[in-house]
Amino acid sequence: MAWTFLFCAGLLEVAWAYFMKKSDGFTQITPAAITIVLMIASFALLSISMKSLPLGTAYTVWTGIGAVGAFLVGIAVLGEAATPMRLLAAAFIVTGIVMMKLSGNP
């Protein structure tokens, strides 16, 4: 169950990063408010997952999901560049996440 909470926390991190971008430096009230609510929810789920997952694993996976997810949203929704170097970097992050999951932790 901890992995499910962690995965959901990572998805919420992607969502709050998107809304933070849309808030235009917290000058747009609705996206700014959504950002804050999603941040709190993401941190809460991360905290729950850390009850049974090691800190290093949980935090690495959470930030990795957020980083790669935000990268993909940037490309798919915001029209950001998908250069070979950026794609390779994202692949390295995904590799790290998989290695953490397979490292034998619960």
pLDDT at residue number 104: 66
Structure tokens at 44: 């809460």
Which pLDDT tens digit goes with each residue over 69-83? 999 999 999 999 999
Q: Report the distance separating Cα 68 and Cα 53, nearest Å.
A: 21
Which pLDDT tens digit goes with each residue over 9-64? 999 999 999 999 999 999 999 999 999 999 999 999 999 999 999 998 899 889 99
